[in-house]
Structure 1
Amino acid sequence: MTTANPSGNTMRALLVRETGWPNGMQVTEVPRPQAQALDADSVLVRVRAAGLNFADTLSIGGSYQEKQALPFVPGAELCGQVVAVGAGVQGLTAGERVMGQVGAGAYAEWAVMHQHRLARVPTAMPDDEAAGFYIPYGTALCALRERGRLAPGETLLVLGAAGAVGLAAVQVGKALGARVIGVSRSESKRGAVMQAGADAFVAWSAGDLKRALQQADVGAGVDVVLDMVGGDATAAAMRCLQFEGRLVVVGFTSGQAPTLRANHILVKNIDIVGCYWGPYQQLRPAQTRQSFQTLFDWYRQGRLNPAIADTVPLEGVAHALEQLACGAYAGKVVATLPIPSGVTE
């Protein structure tokens, strides 16, 4: 095991004592993970920044598919500096910056990560961008390339385009050579979606989405729908698919899983696939590493530009998550965790 000589037994963290949303969670002192207790495949990092995700609100509320035992520190995405590595970890040393996903625990000064769920941070990428890169862009590439089979020249419709995954999908879709239409409930999100590189934007929240696309003069038929919203929006978007179109379901920010009519699926020979990206990282680690090599190449080429909507301190995470759940942001919100002045680690 390689270590940078960490010391201390406690750390500041956002602690959930009981499930429910919204939640009265607070920042408090909790036991800090220790280097000597690392599993062989794990890495201990000093967290520099943590990305806020809609899934965090579900986890805190107790409705997420991966349940956490109480009490727990929420947060699934972070950027940090390696402090110690387990005996089975290859190619990582203390002092390197990494980004990645954890089951929980990102909203804390220290965290333990599995070696298959992290990637080295490109030198030119700042901590706040790195903290919000791994989940949105990893999800977007897996959903569009592996699950949606998006091909150059096809048309992609991104439902929920102003969120972090949505904006990432706009950029990834363009990098894959597609024409991209971004859809969001609010006209106020147009600037963010178009700045991400969308070819067109449609503000829509209910009714006939196909007609709304026609009225916006962007056409009515698309090849792939990437759906983060769920509920009635999914069925409306599915009706926009052309023959042999693909509907890729990523999440349900509306709070409702969709109900779809099988006859619509049959008549157009539509493929409906899900993309829950989390398991890919450990079930297909080589594919995950290759995907991030592609994403980092696109980042260095300037084709991916993470949008940071806001940065907050650890104490501001609870309020920012409430705002995120209400759709207040366009882009990623990141919590920063600087080392206090005078503290040596």
Structure 2
Amino acid sequence: MHAAVVHSFDAPPRYGTIDTPQPRGPHEVLVDIVAAGLHPRVRSAADGTHYTCDGTLPMVPGIDGVGRTPEGELLYFVAPDGVPGTMAEYAVVDRRRAVPLPADSDPYAVAAAMNPGMSSWVALRRRVPLPPGASVLVLGATGNAGRLAVRIAKHLGAAHVVAAGRDPERLAVLGDTGGADVTVRLTGGEDDDAGLADAAADVDVVVDYLWGRPTEQALRAVLTARADRARPLAWIQIGSVAGPDITLPSAYLRAANVQLVGSGQGSVGVSDILAELPELAEQFTAGTLSADPLQVPLAEVEKAWTAPVPPEQRIVLTPGG
């Protein structure tokens, strides 16, 4: 079958051929791939930097997708372990890791949105369940996952959402129609401290896609500005777009009631992640949550890997062209 194939962690995948995988157990079925999303998680696996990467090459990237069974059923699925990824003509699906989709679903929107949406959805349901009426800060709100996190926090009961990010145009959209009550532009300068202290001093939950220096600044700004430092604050670390490490003064953990937790593969069990997929998929198929997919033929994967993409869109690779 045709597939995107990673031959080196230093180069984009190339369009090539590999053996078609075969189902191995009673729960598995071979599907025709309709669409597979090009997510940051997929990129990090393909360049060898994701913490789950074992260094084995060649590999087919792709961790999820939408496929069609021989009977015509449309499924969103998370790829099982030990099989080629989803950026191919066919993939093996474990039915226990799949969600049936209505026949009139937009498979490209689902493929584009489920992975970025899953990050905050699972975090706010499984790691730190969101109290009704909570106040939430989304740190890194101008990325695809952050933009969805703003809407998901509102959908899950947040009364007040602060969106913080670098891109002023995307922040403006979040403030106008994207669900954010307040926006804070991050510039990397000391002005960020004042903006975060003013807007997010008394939030209950932080959804953090940045880490690195922005998180160091945000922790200092938020914790020192809290009116009641004994008020619980849950800081959920999801992504590290701005850097893998931070310097964390020990006094922060003594001087405020802050809980630092991570959300991702390992900190959330596979069964817990899978349990959340049906309801999340329902929100996208119903239009409660939305995405803007950019369809690219699988044969153009090498070009697509480095192509600039409008901020509101996400590339989905389509084996059918």
TM-score, structure 1 length as denominator? 0.79
Secondary structure of the residue aligned to 1:47 is strand
Counterpart for residue 194 of structure 2: 211
Deviations 1:275-333 (A, max 9, x none): 01477463447xx33x234324544664312243x322223333443357xx9633432
Secondary structure of the residue aligned to 2:42 is helix
- When structure 1 is superposed on structure 2, of 126-135 and 100-109 the one drifting more is 100-109
What is the CA-CA distance between 1:70 and the residue it aligns to?
0.9
Over 3 Å counting, the alpha-carbon distance change for 1:262 and 1:303 in structure 2 is farther
Establish whether residue 81 from structure 1 lines up as the match of residue 68 from structure 2. yes
Asked if the contact 2:163–2:184 (Cα under 8 Å) also holds between the matched residues in 1, the reply is yes
- The code of the aligned residue for 1:132 comes to A
Distance, in Å, in 2 between the alignment partners of 1:302 and 1:180 is 21
Q: Which residue among 16, 25, 28 is the counterpart of 2:16?
A: 28
The size of the alignment, in residue pairs, is 307
Asked if the contact 2:126–2:272 (Cα under 8 Å) also holds between the matched residues in 1, the reply is no
Identity across the alignment (%)? 29
Secondary structure of the residue aligned to 1:145 is helix
Counterpart for residue 43 of structure 1: 29
Over 3 Å counting, the alpha-carbon distance change for 1:320 and 1:281 in structure 2 is farther
Alignment of 1:217-296 (within 5 A): 218=199, 220-239=201-220, 240-241=222-223, 242=226, 243-277=231-265, 280=268, 282-284=270-272, 288-289=274-275, 291-296=276-281
Counterpart for residue 164 of structure 1: 144
Structure 2: segments with no counterpart, 5+ residues:
none
Secondary structure of the residue aligned to 2:33 is strand
Q: Which residue among 64, 72, 89 is the counterpart of 1:109?
A: 89
What is the CA-CA distance between 1:62 and the residue it aligns to?
1.3
Over 3 Å counting, the alpha-carbon distance change for 1:297 and 1:126 in structure 2 is closer
Establish whether residue 334 from structure 1 lines up as the match of residue 311 from structure 2. no
- The code of the aligned residue for 2:185 comes to A
Distance, in Å, in 1 between the alignment partners of 2:203 and 2:196 is 10
Q: Which residue among 186, 190, 195 is the counterpart of 2:171?
A: 190
Counterpart for residue 100 of structure 1: 77
Q: Which residue among 285, 297, 310 is the counterpart of 1:313?
A: 297
- The code of the aligned residue for 1:338 comes to G
Asked if the contact 1:13–1:30 (Cα under 8 Å) also holds between the matched residues in 2, the reply is yes
Counterpart for residue 5 of structure 1: none
Over 3 Å counting, the alpha-carbon distance change for 1:115 and 1:139 in structure 2 is farther
Over 3 Å counting, the alpha-carbon distance change for 1:126 and 1:298 in structure 2 is closer
Distance, in Å, in 1 between the alignment partners of 2:302 and 2:137 is 32
